[in-house]
Amino acid sequence: MAKPKKTPRPKAQTPKGFRDYFGAEVTRRKAMLDTIAGIYHRYGFDALETSAVETVESLGKFLPDVDRPNEGVFAWQEEDKDWLALRYDLTAPLARVAAQYRDDLPSPYRRFAMGPVWRNEKPGPGRFRQFYQCDADTVGAPSVAADAEICAMLADVLESVGIARGDYIIRVNNRKVLDGILEAAHLPKDSGDERIEWQRGVVLRTIDKHDRLGDAGVMDLLTDGRTDDSGDRTKGAGLGRDQVGLILGFVNGRQGSIAETLRRLEYLVAGSQTGLAGVEELQTIAKLLTAQGYGPDRIVIDPSVVRGLGYYTGPVFEAELTFETLDEKGVPRAFGSVAGGGRYDDLVKRFTGQEVPATGVSIGVDRLLAALAAQDKGDAQEDDLVVVTVMDRDRMADYQAMAADLRRAGIRSEVYLGNPKNFGNQLKYADKRGAAFAIIQGDDEKARDVVQIKDLKLGARLAETVTHEEWKDQPAQFECPRADLVNTIAQRVKRR
C-alpha cells in the first residue's frame, strides 16, 4: 500500500513585488504621514478613508500601458458576475465618493487621504506592487487658483518633512497645451479614430519618460519602437519625423525664465484655441504663486511634464528631487519624482453626466522616505524603549509594576517575557530591540529598595572609546532608589 504523500510545507516568503515593513520603518512612515496630514489640515482639507476595494467599473481604464479594464489592477469576479479590484490610486475612489455623496458634501469639497494602493505591474528594483500614497484634492473648484494652491501646499509639505529648498523643484505644465501641440501634429483629441487615440496614449506615456530616455529614446518610441537594456521590445507609435520633431520641440520648450517659457509655448500652439487657453492658465498659476512668494527656485513652468494617467484635463504638476544619489549600479543620478498630480475635470462626470472640476496631488510616501534616507535624514527619533529584566519569576508583579509606572509617565516600556533563566539573553534581547535602558532588580536590590539602570545606548558608545579599566567607572550603569525610577529615566530621556 502506497504511503500517503505529505502535504508540502508552505514557503515562508513574501510574494513577488511586495515587501514587509518592520518597527522603525513603520515608525518613520507614520511620523511622515502625521507631518503631511498636519500641512493638509492647515490648508483646510478634511480627512477621508475609502474602501481598498472598488468595482472595476468605478475605477475605470486610466492606468498607463494597459489595454483591458482589469489589466494593471488586482481584480476578481464575484458570484453575481461583478468585477471588483484593489484600488490603484486614491483619486478614482474620490471621484466615486464625490458622485455618491454629492448632495451631502460641501462644494468645493477639500479632502486628503492616505493609504496603500496596488498595481499589478512588473516589479523591479525599488518598484513594488503595493505602495503608500498621500493625496489632497479639491473637487468642485473650476479656477486654476485651486491648482496653484496645491502646488504651494506641495512645496510646504516637502520642506516640512525635511527636503531643503534647493533640493527639489515642482514642475508645472498644462495638458491643454499638449492637446494644442497634438492638434498641430494631426493627432486631435476625440478624433473618433482608434489608431489616433492609441497614438495619443503612446505620446502621453512616452513624454512622461523623457527625463529617463532623452530625445533619442522618445524618438524611437514615437516612430519605429525601442528595445530596452533587458532586450524587451516596445512597439513604436509609427509617427512621422515631422510630427515627432514638433512634439520634441514642445517637450524641450522650457526656457531661461517662466516668462520666456510661456512665450515659447504661445508660439508653438498658435492657431489652437485649446492650446492658447492652456498657456493662459499657466500664466495665471505663475502669477498667483509669485504673489504668494513661491518663485522659480521652488516652482517652474516645464512643458516636459505630462503625467502618464489618462484622466488629466488641465494643469499637471510633478515634484522632483534634484540632489544626486547612486542608483543600483552605483551611477550618480538625480533622485527624481516623488509626487505628482493635476486637474481631472471629467473623472466625476463619468458617474454624474455633469462636469465636476477637480484637482489634486499624490505623494509617493515610500519614495519620499527613500529620499530622506539617501540624505541621511530618514532615521526615526532614537528609541527610548525601557526593558525591565526579570531576575526572579516569583516577583513578576514587581517588574510589571515598574513598567506600569513608566508607561503612566509616557515612557515606552516592557517586561521581558521570555525565559529569564539566562540573564545574558535578556540583555541580548534588549539590544536586538534597540532598547535605550534595561532595569535590573535582584534580591539584593529589592532588599535595599533600589534598582540598577543600564543605559544601553550610552554603554554602546563608551564601549567604542574607553579601556577596560575606565569601563569600571563609566556611568552607563548606575543605581537609584526604586521610588526615583520614573523620574531618573524621564530625565535621561529628556537629555537624549
- Check which CATH number belongs to the domain holding 452 and give it: 3.40.50.800
Q: Residue 166 domain-assigned?
A: yes
Across the range 227-238, mean pLDDT stands at 80
- Burial (CB count within 10 angstroms: exposed 0-12, middle 13-18, buried 19+), residue 77: exposed
Span 98-145, pLDDT tens digits: 999 999 999 999 999 999 999 988 877 777 899 999 999 999 999 999
pLDDT for 319 equals 96
- Under the banding of pLDDT at 50, 70 and 90, the label for residue 239 is confident
- What is the predicted pLDDT for the residue at 467? 56
In this prediction, residue 308 carries a pLDDT of 64
Looking at residue 69, what is its pLDDT? 46
The mean pLDDT of 397-407, rounded to a whole number, is 96
pLDDT above 90 covers a percentage of the chain that reads 52
Residue 381: per-residue pLDDT: 52
Examine the domain organization and report whether 29 and 66 are in the same domain: yes
Same domain, 261 and 173: yes
Q: Which residues contact 470 (CB under 8 A, 6 or more apart)?
A: none
> What percent of the chain has a predicted confidence (pLDDT) above 70?
92
Q: Which CATH number goes with the domain that contains 55?
A: 3.30.930.10
d(C-alpha 37, C-alpha 39), whole Å: 5
| 11 against 308, higher pLDDT | 11
Place 24 in a pLDDT band, splitting at 50, 70 and 90.
Answer: confident
Same domain, 364 and 303: yes
In tens, the pLDDT along 418-464 reads 998 899 999 999 999 989 999 999 999 999 999 999 999 888 777 76
Q: Which domain holds residue 213?
A: 23-374
For residues 193-199, average pLDDT: 85
Same domain? For 369 and 401 the reply is no
Give a yes or no: residue 9 inside a domain.
no
Tell whether 391 and 364 lie within a shared domain: no
Taking residues 47-62, report their average pLDDT.
89
> Within this chain, do residues 285 and 398 fall inside the same structural domain, yes or no?
no
Q: Could you tell me if residue 85 is inside a domain?
A: yes
Q: How far apart are CA 369 and CA 200, in angstroms?
A: 34
Q: Which among 353, 374, 395 is the end of a domain?
A: 374
Domain count, the chain: 2
Higher pLDDT, 196 or 389: 389
The answer, yes or no, to whether residue 329 has pLDDT greater than 80, is: no
Q: Which residue has the higher pLDDT, 64 or 409?
A: 409
Instruction: Determine the average pLDDT of the residues in 177-188.
Output: 85
Do 270 and 403 fall within a single domain? no
Same domain, 230 and 286: yes
Residue of 231 and 28 predicted with greater confidence: 28
